[in-house]
Structure 1
Amino acid sequence: MTEAAVSGNNSGDKMGDGIFVGGGGAGYEEAQRLLLKFGNRHGLIAGATGTGKSVTLQILAEGLSDAGVPVFMADVKGDLAGLAVAGSDSFKLHDAFMKRAATIGYADYHYRAFPVTFWDLYGEQGHPIRTTVSEMGPLMLSRMLELSEAQEGAMNIAFRLSDEEQLPLLDLKDLRALLVFIGENADEIGLRYGNVEKSTIGAIQRRLLVLENQGAAQLFGEPALELSDLMRVDADGRGRINILAADKLMGAPKLYATFLLWLLSELFEELPEVGNPEKPKLVFFFDEAHLLFDDAPKALVDKVEQVARLIRSKGVGVYFITQNPADVPEDILGQLGNRVQHALRAFTAKDRKELRMAAQNYRDNPRFSIEDAIKEVGTGEAVTSFLEDKGVPGVAERTLIRPPASHLGPITPDQRAAALAASPVAGKYDTAIDRDSAFERLQRRAKAAAEAAEKAAAPAGAEAAADEGLTSARRYDPKAASRPRRAASSRSDSVATAFAKSFARQLGSRSGRALVRGILGSLFKAR
């Protein structure tokens, strides 16, 4: 039985046109469906903690998978992993699920698993997921590091220098080595690109150190993620559900939000235009969406709005999951056509104001007050509105959300290991590759400079000794005074030689690289 079949059984419409979400709430019998042809018109799942947002997310992923649509979502609490395992009659909510299925007319409800690919930025609970520093780009990286305008300017210089000097930025050690190079050559680089203060470079290095301590170094490197691996279907034609383990990642909220925004931007840039497809090419769920917009500059919010507006023509649907619709900027909220609003609490004046605003985002239903319904719906119940024919928002309905067919809640380590072993990308990303890039090339340059400096220093030393001998000879030999002096090496030459040797040593060993990280705070003054 597919979700499309359920949709047909409940609505009388032709089979295969939508995903059955639920129905039968508060005495009303209207079936609520997400039409596949409008699945790329984006959506919102909102509600207070514990009201059922995760279950709604789970059943939407199930329905999309059955329809052959790949899904990408972050598992913030660890309970969405249950999609990989069939539900069980022994589950404590089994009787409640069966009762709910009967109430809403969910015919032939039974448990089953779905094709899941697990991912993890840290490589612990899923396949490692990486990108290169170059692919992330200076704008996203500056956002992740929360850089000031001057620091972001220095980051842009680093990326320009990387391109012009053929110094690929693949991982964080590449970026750190290039920043050291910029700091030590700030005067010359400043003439070409604008002034770069060593204190600015030092501040960026300290922020990179914090990022490394959060485990972000594992995000950058190769092999980099291929977007096609997020858009697979299984042998039965079901879309694979890509689940990013985010329970640990939430300890670094800027990293979490920036990574998902980068992934969305990559999809926008790489996917071809498809117009209005019969079903989405991919549906992207952005959980804890408020983290993307908290303290975000207007330029970034404008960028997100632009991507959200245009990416639907690439066949990608974006669904934001958050506690309150007010967490999403109004211009973006206006683009979210499919909505599931779970209960909101109204304990304070601010809560009541936000509740009224949330209710105003729905098409009125003369049978009940939407504002009252949002306050009253219970766990697993919601006020829903999905786009209808011609893209018109549907009338708001109180809806009992259907029960999931997959397991509700976390899975065991053995179950996760089995899913990873059966994954179509098993082994593809597991081993990191460290190819020749900026770090290695700067290391070779520094070594060559040190060797050249040593060769130049040898005759200079002999000349200095000869000059010393000549000076002594003058004391006793008046004829020596007429002999010409050789020019002594300049102080700048000795400084360059010392730096070349030091830089080569620091880049040449693991302990040296740790020293670079450790001394930057004292080497460069804080901003």
Structure 2
Amino acid sequence: MPDVAPGLFLGQSDKPEQLLFHRANRHGVVAGATGTGKTVTLQIMAQGFSDAGLPVFCADVKGDLSGICVPGSPNEKLLARAAGMGLTLTPRAAPTVFWDLYGLKGHPIRTTVSEIGPLLLARMLNLNDVQEGVLSVVFHVADKEGLLLLDLDDLRAMLVHVGENAERIGREVGNVAPASIASIQRAILQLEQQGGKAFFGEPALRLEDMMRTGLDGRGQVNVLDATKLMASPRLYAAFLLWLLSELFEQLPEVGDPEKPRLVFFFDEAHLLFNDTPDALREKVEQVVRLIRSKGVGVYFVTQNPADIPDSVLAQLGNRIQHALRAYTPAEQRGLKAASDSFRANPAFDTAEAIQGLGVGEALVSTLDEKGAPHVVARTLIRPPDSRLGPATDAERAAVMAASPVRGLYEAVIDRESAEEILAARRGEADQATADAKLAEAQAKADAAAAKDAEKAAAAREKSEAREQARYQREAARPRAAPRRSTRETPIEAATKSVLRTAGSTITRELLRGLLGGLRRR
């Protein structure tokens, strides 16, 4: 077996090709068309770094990389390839910890909204410049008022708070348009529908849980299951960039160590740079350029080096190029860019060699002892010690059951933060408003009752005054003699009736006597 003590053995050209450990923090790129062996190369590098005691983080986009947790079963072809390199395969698994933002195929990964920050969050939400400015105002107000932004519910509550106080806040930091707040709210809803809500919250990931070294001296291989995450490419890219940023901010300066403290593989790297704002691109370039002094090596895995901006590509010293196909003008330009990025080998034409590479072959150029790139070499990539292909569900479950971080991240912690504080404030304000309205209504009722009482008193006084005036007028008027009543008493009426009856009778008798005497004559 070739002497691999100073570095990671990659494969065999006309000599053993290896990546020196003390140059591994100068970053690198693994490129090639789909199906040419990039994932196997990533697996070999991850396990090689682990065997050297270096923790590794890598994303498993298709699920194939999960086989690193299972010892390999090399077939005759792989054994023959290994023998041709003077390599004796020792099937064994790498010490693996599975992670998953959704908590389905690995330990959940969470971070807080505050740790993500407005720039990366705007990238996740696909906001325009104006909306990103409003989001920055939201973070500013949260910091000023001491409100923790832990999850998306906190962010949504802060947006409502800023919208309700837009006039006051606008006088301090600039206009906050309701339309921008509404757009951000809709973007948050879309992120939640893509499963992004599970990423925000506590307990937040501790970087030391990804940078473990076992008792056997091997580094922990952290495999992020990204099979579902790839359906949300903005979330995937923003998460990996956040992880890099956290490493950059938290790790101390170590200069150029003999070995990196962590090796980071960024699979499907082109997703990071698609439609990337200038500010975010500058952030990526800054992190890649400066994080090497923190002892972190970053390796971008993509189909074509042309997917990576030149400002970032210039920072990548170790290069492994699998086969590319160049049928269209765009592919031909990408092929030329890839071939021009290597130090030429007079033994072959680099562009033609890239097109003629078979599966498991690559053009390799790593940095030498002085940090200069080696001449590119056509290399047969070594077979892995772990399984080629995915682990079964049972094998994955067994690895997770023995995980050193088992039980640390599964349960969600929901402590008091912006949502609860603002809800309490709103409840107090609503209660104060209700109390004020009740007091106002009571005051109005008391005023109305007092007014009614005043009116009643005034009415009584007026009535009493009228009665007093009438009494005084009655007392001042002279008294007249009492008039005799003209009404007949019952006795008088009866007497008059008897007299009238007697008078009528006498009159009739006289008339009869007189008339009778006249007739006799």
What TM-score does the superposition give when structure 2 sets the normalisation length?
0.86
Q: CA deviation at 1:465?
A: 2.2
Q: Distance in 2 between matches of 1:328 and 1:386?
A: 18
Alignment match, 2:406: 426
Other structure's SS at 2:264 match? strand
Q: Distance in 2 between matches of 1:292 and 1:249?
A: 14
Q: CA deviation at 1:433?
A: 0.3
Query: Which of the residues 7, 19, 32 maps onto 1:47?
Result: 32
Alignment match, 1:240: 220
Contact 1:275–1:314 under 8 Å retained in 2: yes
Greater Rg by CA: 2
Give CA deviations for 1:409-449 in whole Å, capped at 9, x if unaligned: 11111111111111111101110100111111111111111
Deviates further, 214-223 or 142-151: 142-151
Q: CA deviation at 1:459?
A: 2.0
**Alignment length (residue pairs):** 460
RMSD of aligned Cα (Å): 1.6
Query: Which of the residues 298, 308, 311 maps onto 2:278?
Result: 298
Contact 1:65–1:239 under 8 Å retained in 2: yes
Q: CA deviation at 1:372?
A: 0.8
Q: CA deviation at 1:7?
A: 3.9
Alignment match, 1:87: 72
Other structure's SS at 1:440 match? helix
Deviates further, 466-475 or 329-338: 466-475
Alignment match, 1:19: 8
Q: CA deviation at 1:476?
A: 7.3
Q: CA deviation at 1:469?
A: 4.5
Give CA deviations for 1:395-419 in whole Å, capped at 9, x if unaligned: 1000000011101111111111111
Q: Partner letter of residue 274 of structure 1? A: V
Deviates further, 393-402 or 147-156: 147-156
Other structure's SS at 1:295 match? coil
Runs of 4+ deviating beyond 2 Å:
465-480
Q: CA deviation at 1:453?
A: 1.7
Other structure's SS at 1:124 match? coil
The percentage of aligned residue pairs carrying the same residue is 56
Query: Which of the residues 85, 94, 97 maps onto 2:78?
Result: 97
Aligned pairs for 1:14-413 within 5 A: 16-24=5-13, 29-89=14-74, 94-106=75-87, 108-413=88-393
Contact 1:73–1:284 under 8 Å retained in 2: yes
Other structure's SS at 1:391 match? coil
Give CA deviations for 1:208-265 in whole Å, capped at 9, x if unaligned: 0000111111101111000111110111010100000100000000000000001001
Q: CA deviation at 1:191?
A: 1.5
Contact 2:119–2:280 under 8 Å retained in 1: no
Give CA deviations for 1:494-526 in whole Å, capped at 9, x if unaligned: xxxxxxxxxxxxxxxxxxxxxxxxxxxxxxxxx
Alignment match, 1:485: none
Q: CA deviation at 1:95?
A: 1.5
Q: Distance in 2 between matches of 1:249 and 1:174?
A: 23
Other structure's SS at 1:34 match? strand
Q: Partner letter of residue 265 of structure 1? A: S
Other structure's SS at 1:390 match? coil
Other structure's SS at 2:370 match? helix
Q: Distance in 1 between matches of 2:383 and 2:275?
A: 37
Q: Partner letter of residue 99 of structure 1? A: A
Contact 1:7–1:33 under 8 Å retained in 2: no
Give CA deviations for 1:167-194 in whole Å, capped at 9, x if unaligned: 1111111111111111112112212221
Alignment match, 1:513: none
Deviates further, 156-165 or 331-340: 156-165
Q: Distance in 1 between matches of 2:336 and 2:432?
A: 73
Give CA deviations for 1:137-174 in whole Å, capped at 9, x if unaligned: 11111111111222111111111111121111111111
Structure 2 unaligned blocks of 5 or more: 461-521
Q: Distance in 1 between matches of 2:123 and 2:457?
A: 71
Q: Distance in 1 between matches of 2:73 and 2:302?
A: 29
Contact 1:337–1:393 under 8 Å retained in 2: yes
Contact 2:53–2:219 under 8 Å retained in 1: yes
Q: Distance in 2 between matches of 1:155 and 1:109?
A: 54
Q: Partner letter of residue 61 of structure 1? A: A
Q: CA deviation at 1:357?
A: 1.6
